[in-house]
Amino acid sequence: MCGIWALFGSDECLSVQCLSAMKIAHRGPDAFRFENVNGFTNCCFGFHRLAVVDQLYGMQPIRVKKFPYLWLCYNGEIYNFKQLQKQFGFDFQTLVDGEVILHLYNRGGIEQTASMLDGVFAFILLDTANRKVFLARDTYGVRPLFKVLTDDGFLGVCSEAKGLINLKHSTSLCSKVEPFLPGHYEVLDLKPSGKVASVELVKFHSCKDEPLHVACDTVEALPSGFDLETVKNNIRILFENAVRKRLMAHRRIGCLLSGGLDSSLVAAILLKLMKEINTNYPLQTFAIGMENSPDLLAARKVAAHIGSEHHEVILNTEEGIQAIEEVIFSLETYDITTIRASIGMYLVSKYIRKKTDSVVIFSGEGSDELTQGYIYFHKAPSPEEAAEESERLLKELYLFDVLRADRTTAAHGLELRVPFLDHRFTSYYLSLPAELRIPKNGIEKYLLRLSFEDSNLLPKEILWRPKEAFSDGIASVKKSWFSILQDYIDQQVDDLLLEKAAEKYPFNPPKTKESYYYRQIFEKHYSGRSSWLPHYWMPRWVKATDPSARTLKHYKSATQE
């Protein structure tokens, strides 16, 4: 996890512009470099480093003697770099996983490069010999990337939008900062002036398609067929492999643990694999919640079962409310459910950074979207519509859960790893018949739970624990976190303000005081940028006025069971 930033064709003094690069310093607390491009005095790279692999030669932009005309700035982890090196006989100059991007590009161009990377990434690749600039981002947008391109060819690229919104330029025409689409690469011509012109934007991978890099995966061809035992076995093999490949790190590994199915499975398999490779430190797991909240109690049970070094962060109401503004500033969104869930994750990340030496943090993001874990999936009209909704959610992850997970951890200089969004695992799961993937017997994620039932990885009551939204699970059963937030915000927003909300904010107008409160804070920091959120996250197929699972009829609190 790092912060990347680059400018091409700047009219303003670069020493002034580079102040914008400092807005993302939190993403890389270990080192910073600012470098001009030879021959293009108005082009430059900025890089904030979190040293996770090759601590000696890992500074960026990466340049190697073999390709002096290539400049690479990337944020991410390429899990198959050693397999690619072996398959194609690449001669590496460093131990940095991202160096493989230079070799792949030299061998087969940008299309092959993006398609063969098994990992999470956002990168800027400059080829001065051919006068090209390339941008690319992984399938699910696990690593963030924003860009601004003016009509006269000034290009700014950054890991977070906050590094671009205050750039100076002679013209403000078409200076719209926008997220770079996941699963895409863009080709731009570099003019002698340093300015650029977009040539094409190409989608190189869809979540349903088996990735090209399967050809050099450590797990060979799986048994085919959709009989239940084969499917369950394949799910176990692929998910364990997804966790295993993400062990690549020279820094201490930890794991977020809410006590729900997803984070518990990740933690259990992670600890098992760390024991197999004789890791010389115990796995630290981290839970956050109010005293005796469902998440704390469940996480405690899981940690005891798997034998992790468990840490509990007690959330108090005042601390959570005080964090709202800094959370919204970090997130760059005003989505209701994203902000609610981010507060706990932001505070637990703050604890990890201050109180421990864990830096590489595993988490369970992506499972709800992939395995139909949201409670509203019980109301899907058909298995086919449920499958379509699952794909829609995966495509929009970069706007919601993946955005939350990246920004809340990156704000404290931590690197997130999300095995449920492994390319091969997700493409296999989405290839299964729609009927197999739907909730069954009133239980969501039924197939995933069933696949691990005989593994003894988790206590049965955790493996079959009903879905609890992170923002609800951290609070007590009697009063959920969203209710606590709403009670506070009711006192902060006047009724009259809410009545006129649609006039003040015509795009995505706030419908509740809570929504209005978040929007006010967002506009304070990112005025006029409301289009970054195309729509609010809300459940489908139900008459919901609030995104919280606890407002849906299907939800049962532990006190009612």
Q: What is the pLDDT of residues 223-281, one digit of tens each?
A: 999 999 999 999 999 999 999 999 999 899 999 999 999 999 999 999 999 999 999 99
Q: In the chain, what percentage of residues exceed pLDDT 70?
A: 93
Q: Where is the binding site for ATP, in residues?
A: 256, 288, 363-364
Angle formed at CA 293 by CA 287 and CA 295, multiple of 5 degrees? 40
Residue 190 has pLDDT above 70, yes or no: yes
Phi-psi map region of 272: left, alpha, beta (phi>0 left; psi -120 to 50 alpha): alpha
Binding region for L-glutamine: 97
Cα–Cα distance measured from residue 267 to residue 283, given in angstroms and rounded to the nearest whole number: 9
- Residue 181, judged by CB atoms within 10 A of its CB (0-12, 13-18, 19+), counts as middle
End-to-end CA, the chain: 42
Report how far residue 487's alpha carbon sits from residue 482's, in angstroms, rounded to the nearest whole number.
Answer: 9
Q: What share of the chain is helix, strand, coil (3-state, %, to 5)?
A: 40, 20, 40
The verdict on whether 207 is a catalytic residue reads: no
* 288 contacts: CB under 8 Å, gap ≥ 6: 295, 296, 312, 313, 314, 315, 344, 345, 347, 348, 351, 474
Residue 552 has pLDDT above 60, yes or no: no
Q: Give the C-alpha separation, 95 to 87, whole Å.
A: 17
**pLDDT tens-digit series, residues 410-427:** 999 999 999 999 999 999
Lookup: tokens for 243: 């966790």
Please tell me which residue, 59 or 63, carries the higher pLDDT value.
63
Q: What is the pLDDT of residues 352-378, one digit of tens each?
A: 999 999 999 999 999 999 999 999 999
pLDDT of 468: 59
The pLDDT tens digits for 427-445 are 999 999 999 999 999 999 9
Q: How far apart are CA 337 and CA 138, in angstroms?
A: 24
When the pLDDT of each residue in the chain is averaged and rounded to a whole number, the result is 92
Enumerate the known binding-site residues. Answer: 97, 256, 288, 363-364
Of 2, 73, 207, 255, which residue is the catalytic one?
A: 2
For residue 137, what pLDDT is reported?
Answer: 98
What's the CA gap between 452 and 232, in Å, rounded? Answer: 8
What confidence score (pLDDT) does residue 513 get? 95
559 — pLDDT class (breaks 50, 70, 90) = very low
H or E stretch at 349: helix 336-355
CA–CA dist 255, 283 (Å, integer): 8
- Residue range 25-29: average pLDDT? 87
Average pLDDT over residues 521-534: 97
Confidence of residue 332 (pLDDT cuts 50, 70, 90): very high
At 29, give phi and psi (nearest 5°).
-75, -5
- What does the angle CA 90 – CA 145 – CA 530 come to, to the nearest 5 degrees? 170
What domains are there in the chain, each with its CATH number?
3-203 (3.60.20.10), 240-480 (3.40.50.620)
Question: What global pTM score does this model have?
Answer: 0.94
Q: Where is pLDDT greater, at 481 or 20?
A: 20
Q: What is the mean pLDDT of residues 59-63?
A: 88
pLDDT of residue 548: 61
pLDDT at 392 over 80: yes
